[in-house]
């Protein structure tokens, strides 16, 4: 199994990409720390992991809070004896996120606190744990809009994901000699609850699909499979990378230099 003997901590694991990753990682032998602010969702993910014969615990944590991030990492070490994979997946896309003129400061701050600060805090406490375990893999979820910008205004989200991408590159450089790898996944539009709440009409969904060469939304499990590669030793020479999993959307719009 590709993650046999490893301990993986996944934030935002109560649904979507996080849940699919927890299930997949457990199938591949990892002990999983399921982290979410949604208790019901997180406990359901743990129940699904256990039902398929895996090992998992749930830790309620708000990734924007220092104490919560410290506690989730401590739980991984206490319960499973270490940490080998830190998957900073938790994020929000607020319905009131708009352009610079119309986005309220509170929405900007909320988005940055979860999407960007949450990754920082995960790394702040996760990296020392990775060191204690002899190294490991950091996987951060950015977005295709970090590469393109969004046609539909969502300024705070786009800026936060651009920050995640830049932070990941620096993490990779700083920790490369410590056997700690850091990579960012840039998903394209997915059929997840997060995006479908924004694209809440058939007209909005069709307008987005026009821009995806594959002509469909991605599925959360497809991102989980990409994360599995980055979590495993199969990606042992991969760090500082931008792993774009987007149905071709950036290939269609990015002009080569």
The residues assigned a catalytic role are 157
In angstroms, the CA 118 to CA 111 distance is 10
Q: What Å distances lie between residue 117 and 91, 113, 170, 181, 193, CA to CA?
A: 10, 5, 15, 19, 22
In angstroms, the CA 116 to CA 165 distance is 10
Find out whether 80 and 28 touch, Cβ atoms under 8 Å. Answer: no
- Give SS3 for 18: helix
The number of beta carbons lying within 10 Å of the beta carbon of residue 1 is 12
Cross-strand pairs, 8: 32, 85
């Amino acid at each position: 199994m590709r993650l046999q003997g490893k301990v993986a901590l996944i934030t935002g694991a109560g649904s979507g990409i996080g849940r699919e990753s927890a299930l997949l990682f457990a199938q591949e032998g990892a002990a999983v720390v399921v982290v979410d602010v949604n208790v019901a969702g997180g406990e359901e993910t743990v129940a699904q992991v256990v039902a398929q014969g895996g090992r998992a615990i749930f830790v309620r944590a708000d990734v924007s809070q220092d104490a919560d991030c410290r506690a989730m990492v401590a739980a991984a070490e206490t319960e499973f004896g270490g940490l080998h994979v830190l998957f900073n997946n938790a994020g929000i896309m607020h319905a009131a996120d708009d352009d610079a003129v119309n986005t309220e400061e509170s929405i900007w701050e909320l988005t940055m606190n979860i999407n960007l600060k949450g990754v920082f805090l995960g790394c702040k406490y996760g990296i020392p744990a990775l060191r204690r375990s002899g190294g490991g893999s950091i996987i951060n979820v950015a977005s295709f809009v970090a590469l393109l910008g969004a046609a539909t205004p969502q300024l705070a989200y786009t800026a936060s994901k651009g920050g995640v991408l830049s932070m990941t590159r620096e993490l990779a450089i700083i920790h490369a000699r410590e056997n700690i790898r850091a990579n960012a996944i840039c998903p394209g539009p997915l059929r997840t609850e997060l995006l479908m709440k924004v694209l809440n009409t058939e007209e909005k969904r069709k307008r987005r699909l026009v821009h995806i060469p594959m002509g469909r939304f991605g599925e959360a499990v497809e991102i989980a499979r990409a994360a599995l590669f980055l979590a495993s030793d199969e990606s042992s020479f991969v760090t500082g990378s931008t792993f774009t999993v987007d149905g071709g959307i950036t290939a269609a719009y990015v002009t080569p230099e």
